[in-house]
Amino acid sequence: MAKSATPALLQGTLDLLILHALQRGEMHGYAIAQCIHLLSDEALRVEEGSLYPALYRLELDGAIKARWGLSENNRKAKYYDITARGKKLMTQQQETWSRLSVAVDRVLAR
Amino acid sequence: MRRTFLKLFRRRTLHHDLETELAFHNDMAAANGNPIPLGNPSIIKENAFDLWRFNGIENIWRDLVYAVRSLSRSPGFVLSALLSLGLGIGVNTAMFSIAVEFLLSEPSVVDAGSWASVYLGDSNHAKPQVVQFLRDSGVFREVVGENWETSINWNDGRDTRPIFSVQTTKNYLTALGVPLAYGRGWTENDGGNAVVLHHRFWQQHFNADPSIVGCSINLDGRAYTVVGILPESHRTLIGYGLSPDVYLPHSLPDTLLEIYVRLKPGMSLDQGRTALRTLADRLDQAMPNPYVKYAAGIRVTPLAGFARLRQEQGASAIGLFFVVLLVLASLVFLIACVNVASLLLVRASNRKQEIAIRLSLGASRGRLLQQLLAESLLLSAFGAGIGFALAELVARLLASIELPVPVPIRLQIEPDWRVVAYAAVLGVAATLVCGLLPAWQSVKESLTSSAHRERRMRMRRGLVIAQIAVSVIVLATGSLFLRNLLLARSINPGFDVLHTLRADVHLPPVRYSDEAVQKVYVGQALRELAAIPGVEGAAAARTIPFTEESHDSTEFTFPRTGEKVHVRFHWNGVSPGFFRVMDIALVAGRDFNGEDRDGLRVVVVNRNFVERYLKDSDAIGTTFQWGDDKALYEIVGVAAGTKNMTIGEDDEPQLYQPLAQIQNGRPQIQFVLRSATPPQTQLAAVQNVLRRVEPGAGVEVSTMYSSIGLAFLPSQVGAGLMGGIGVLGLLLATIGLYGVTAYSVARRTREIGVRIAIGATRSNIMRLVLAESLRLLVVGSAVGLAIAFFVTKPLAMFFVPGLGAADPVSFGAVVLVLAATGFIATLGPVRRAIRVDPVTSLRYE
């Protein structure tokens, strides 16, 4: 089964990015992808193929919650919002990420 | 937990949600100049779904759907498997339930285990005073008496008819703790004019109206207040499904009562027996009975369950009957299980290819097992469902059958759900195991040698042989009973049942307590009956063979030789003309006549009596002394004689006395009439005449043929049950044989193809396949017959004389039937075999 050729994100970081993006408030899937894209100065591209499974997984875990609403152009869209549980999860993942990136930097610096 | 709930509730809408969401995303992306590449939507969906899925369960669901589809492609297989399971579970357990109800049902009393039936002086009947004596002694917790062999005349305002009543002691209901559906029953303080109705009687005659409680009904010319209705589930002390019409809190003077006692807590039967012996000694002193010594012949037998069967006389035959029935039932069930197994194996052999392909495509062993499991699960679930439904249906049918007997019998047959469940579990287990076997085999098969395969084939053949053998046993027993029924019908009861009628008359006891009044009535009734147009003759008798029995065992002294002989005979008191009306041949001497009244006492005996007790001396004119008063009797005639209680019994001695010379203790008389026209056309006329002669009498008129139905009952019920099971077994065995033949043909398709390719003709192939089934049939039948020969031995007691257990006709029929069914079962597969196309078959495996 062919996966997308270049994984745009390191495994495990997408969840963190999604949760982080959602801290700014409720938004739909496309907006989340856009948000991450823009915040990374267009360096990171989140594909649907990774985004939606991640969103569904997070929803199932209770880290985010979803509701149907109307989008800015008046279309039915699914809006996601972070939950208390999600905030806790984000803090944990952020710490993990920091430690990891510091460690990786150290290794690469030598 | 949370996940599970979310999954459960959300997964239905999930698909739609995701699609909408993706569409929205794509639109947004497109509107914004598509800065982010589109992925493959199917993969996205799959990935998103994976999380939300109960993988295992969903696969099972998919497997079930697949199973339904694949099963619906082979309806023949499904039908046979479901039929096997359904019949095996349902019909079989229904039969079992009858046995349980008939034999082991507990009477509707409080703590049935503590009650016992009491015998004093070798009889469980005693005078009410004796019952009272036992009660007053305080040895037992409770003592009650009942007599159910009585009838009472019930006048419903239009008609008077005898109904079955149980006379009881006043403490009967309270001591036994008989539950009532309505009303409170009677207590010891109530008067004697109370009556409790049986549920059935109440339903039939009072439209199940509860407001009848408190009203009065007319019994024997007296008003009785209805004080209670027994519930539908009421079971009498006697058991065997007996359901009398009414219970009365009193007994007529001189009625003998059956004694039942409730043992004190902690008192064993043995202790009860010892206590009873002491009591009986006291009883012999306090109320000496010239005929009976109470202390001799003491017995205390349990009232319910297995214990009762062990103790009760005659119950051993019934018990044996049911043991045979149960053995047969379980054998039939075994056949059903083997059937399902072999059917599944046949199926598996046909789909070996499919399984092999799936395995090679990478299906896991577990996944394959799961799929086959689904199929078996589906089969067994439906099979069990059908079984449950059939059990209920058969039980209802059986319960609704009105037995042609003079006493009201109604078995409350409900399928014994424990047994049904047990059978269902076994059936389901058999299905599952056999359903999974193929997968297991195919997985292993690629690794094993053909020798292994050969061994399995041999095992399967063994299975078929066993199945055939079991079917032979079941069939042999069934056919023995069927043949018994046929033989019994052809046996002559010794009198004409086709042109005769019978009227059972119960006279009001108070008015007819005087002998003379009774005799006047009988004379007048006979005159009027004989005057009915079309009636060729009328006679009166104390008993009618097959409906009632009067046995005597006494001592005759023959003055000619001075010899004292102990004789046993069936007794009857008849009016002149009885032999002519009943068409009983007089082989010597004369019939009674009007002169046989106050003079010399005369009797007519039957041939068997002469052969047994008079040896070679000339019977006519022989005199003997009989009775306490040593009165002299003379034999004036010898009759051919009749059967007495059952059609299959041996001839027994009979002795007839003129009605005019006997003391008629009870106000009851039977009339028999011979009619030139069909007897049923005379029913109303006879009823009217008897009503006119004595309006207060309870009269029941029936054709002789319908009233002796009881005689055929044991063989009918036996033949019905056993024959039913036999047919069931045959049906199942046919299915099984078919399955196995089909299987072996399927396995040999390639071989058959090769044979055809190198020049074998159709008849060669046919012979090949037939020879194989024939071999199985012959070996199976031989084993089965050998076992059946021994198994059916103890059944001889049920059969008419001349029909031995190892009846060649029955056994021959069984073998023939089995050969025929075997042939039919082989026909289908054989036809498939000879139509095998060599090219296809070579590609087959």
Q: Provide mean pLDDT across the span A19-48.
A: 85
Put simply, the answer to whether B48 touches A56 (Cβ < 8 Å) is yes
Give the residue-averaged pLDDT of A73-95. Answer: 89
Contact B43 A52 (CB under 8 A): no
Residue % of chain A over a pLDDT of 90: 15
B345-396 per-position pLDDT tens digit: 767 766 666 777 777 777 777 777 777 777 888 888 888 888 888 888 887 8
Whether the pLDDT of residue B759 is over 70: the answer is yes
Note whether B22 contacts A52, CB cutoff 8 Å. yes
Q: Is the pLDDT of residue B446 over 80?
A: no
Task: Read off the pLDDT of each residue in B556-564 and give the average, rounded to a whole number.
Answer: 84
Contacts of A48 in chain B (CB under 8 A): 22, 25-26, 36, 38-39, 44
What's the DSSP call for residue B234? Answer: -
Confidence of residue B637 (pLDDT cuts 50, 70, 90): very high
The most confident of the ranges A12-16, B539-543, B749-753 is B539-543
Q: Does position A3 have pLDDT exceeding 50, yes or no?
A: no
At residue B580 the predicted structure's pLDDT band, cuts being 50, 70 and 90, is very high
How many Cβ pairs closer than 8 A exist between chain A and B?
74
Chain A partners within 8 Å of B24 (Cβ): 28-30, 71, 75-78
- Given the cut 0.90, state whether the ipTM is greater than it: no
Long-range contacts of B551-554 (CB under 8 A, 24+ apart): B552/B655, B554/B626, B554/B627
* pLDDT above 60 for B55: no
Q: What is the pLDDT, as a whole number, of residue B40? A: 67
A53: nearest CA partner in chain B: B48
Pick among A3, A18, A30, A65 to test the B interface (most B CBs inside 10 A): A30
Q: Do B52 and A53 touch (CB under 8 A)?
A: no
- Cβ separation of B22 and A49 shorter than 8 Å? no
Whether chain B has a CB inside 8 Å of the CB on A40: the answer is: no
- Region B763-770: mean pLDDT is 82
Look at residue B662 in the predicted model and tell me its pLDDT.
84
For B719-758, b where at least 16 C-beta lie within 10 A, e where not — what string?
bebbbbbbbbbbbbbbbbbbbbbbbbbbbbbbbbbebbee
Domain residue ranges of chain A, discontinuous segments joined by +: 13-108
Residue B89 is given by DSSP the state I
Q: At residue B219, what is the residue type?
A: L
Burial class of B825 by CB neighbour count within 10 A (0 to 12, 13 to 18, 19+): buried
CA-nearest of B95, B139, B185 to B721 is B95
Confirm if B107 and B304 have CB atoms less than 8 A apart: yes
Contacts of B27 in chain A (CB under 8 A): 75
pLDDT at residue A6, rounded to an integer: 40
Rg, Å, chain B Cα set: 37
pLDDT-based confidence at B426, cuts 50/70/90? confident
Q: What's the confidence (pLDDT) of residue B324? A: 75
Quick one: CA dihedral B375, B378, B379, B381, positive or negative? positive
B718: confidence class by pLDDT, cuts 50, 70, 90: low
Mutate to test the interface with A, among B9, B15, B47 (most CBs of A within 10 A): B47
Q: Please say whether the beta carbons of B115 and B413 come within 8 A.
A: no
CB A90 within 8 Å of CB A16: yes
Give how far B365 is from chain A: nearest CA, Å: 23
Q: In this complex, is the C-beta atom of B33 within 8 Å of any C-beta atom belonging to chain A?
A: no
Q: Please report the pLDDT score of residue B57 as a whole number.
A: 65
d(CA B75, CA B89): 21
CA-based nearest residue in chain B for residue A60: B3
pLDDT tier for residue A5 given thresholds of 50, 70 and 90: very low
Answer whether B39 sits within 8 Å of A49, measured CB to CB.
Answer: yes
Handedness of CA B574, B575, B578, B580 (dihedral sign): positive
pLDDT for the residue numbered A2: 37
Q: Is B37 on the interface with A (CB under 8 A)?
A: yes
Of A30, A49, A60, the CB nearest to B29: A30
- For residue A106, the distance in angstroms to the closest alpha carbon of chain B comes to 33
Tell me if B25 and A48 make a contact (CB, 8 A cut-off): yes
Dihedrals φ, ψ of A73, to 5°? -100, 25
**B475 pLDDT band (50/70/90 cuts)?**
confident
Q: Say which range, A7-11, B420-424, B562-566, B712-716, has the weakest mean pLDDT.
A: A7-11
Q: Please give the angle made by the CA atoms of B558, B561 and B566, to the nearest 5 degrees.
A: 45
Mutate to test the interface with A, among B1, B8, B14, B21 (most CBs of A within 10 A): B21
Domain A13-108 in CATH 1.10.10.10: yes
> Is B23 in the A-facing interface, judged by CB distances under 8 Å?
no
pLDDT of residue B719: 67
Name the most confidently modeled range: A17-21, B117-121, B612-616. A17-21
Q: What is the pLDDT of residues B538-559, one digit of tens each?
A: 999 988 887 777 778 788 888 8
**B362 at the A interface (CB within 8 A)?**
no
Q: Is the model's pLDDT at B448 over the cut of 60?
A: no
User: Could you report the per-residue pLDDT of B72-108, keeping only the tens digit for each?
Assistant: 887 777 887 888 888 888 877 777 777 777 767 778 8
- Which pLDDT value is given to residue B148? 74
Cβ B733 vs Cβ B340: under 8 Å: no
Q: Tokens representing B579?
A: 């032999």
The predicted model gives B626-655 an average pLDDT of: 83
User: pLDDT value at position B440?
Assistant: 66
Lowest mean pLDDT among A72-76, B217-221, B272-276: A72-76
Q: Do A33 and B36 touch (CB under 8 A)?
A: yes
Of A49, A71, A75, the CB nearest to B47: A49
**Interface contact flag, A52 B48, Cβ < 8 Å:** yes
pLDDT of residue B403: 62
Q: For residue B449, is pLDDT > 50?
A: no
Whether residues B40 and A73 touch (CB distance < 8 A) is answered with: no
Q: Do B36 and A71 count as a contact with CB atoms less than 8 A apart?
A: no
What tokens were used for A36?
Answer: 């991450």
User: How confident is residue B673, by pLDDT bands cut at 50, 70 and 90?
Assistant: very high
**Mean pLDDT of the residues in chain B:** 78
Share of chain A above pLDDT 70, in %: 90
What confidence score (pLDDT) does residue B50 get?
Answer: 62
Rounded percentage of chain B residues whose pLDDT exceeds 70: 80
The proportion of chain B whose per-residue pLDDT surpasses 90, expressed as a percent, equals 8
Res. B5: pLDDT tops 70:
no
Local confidence band at A80 (pLDDT 50, 70, 90 cut-offs)? very high
Is the Cβ of B51 closer than 8 Å to some Cβ of chain A? Answer: yes
**Which pTM was predicted?**
0.58
Quick one: average pLDDT of A69-75? 83
Question: What's the pLDDT tens digit per position in B296-325?
Answer: 778 888 877 666 666 554 556 666 777 777
pLDDT band at A36 (very low <50, low <70, confident <90, very high): confident
Min Cα distance B359 → chain A (Å) is: 21
pLDDT confidence band for B710 (50 / 70 / 90) = low
pLDDT value, residue A7 = 43
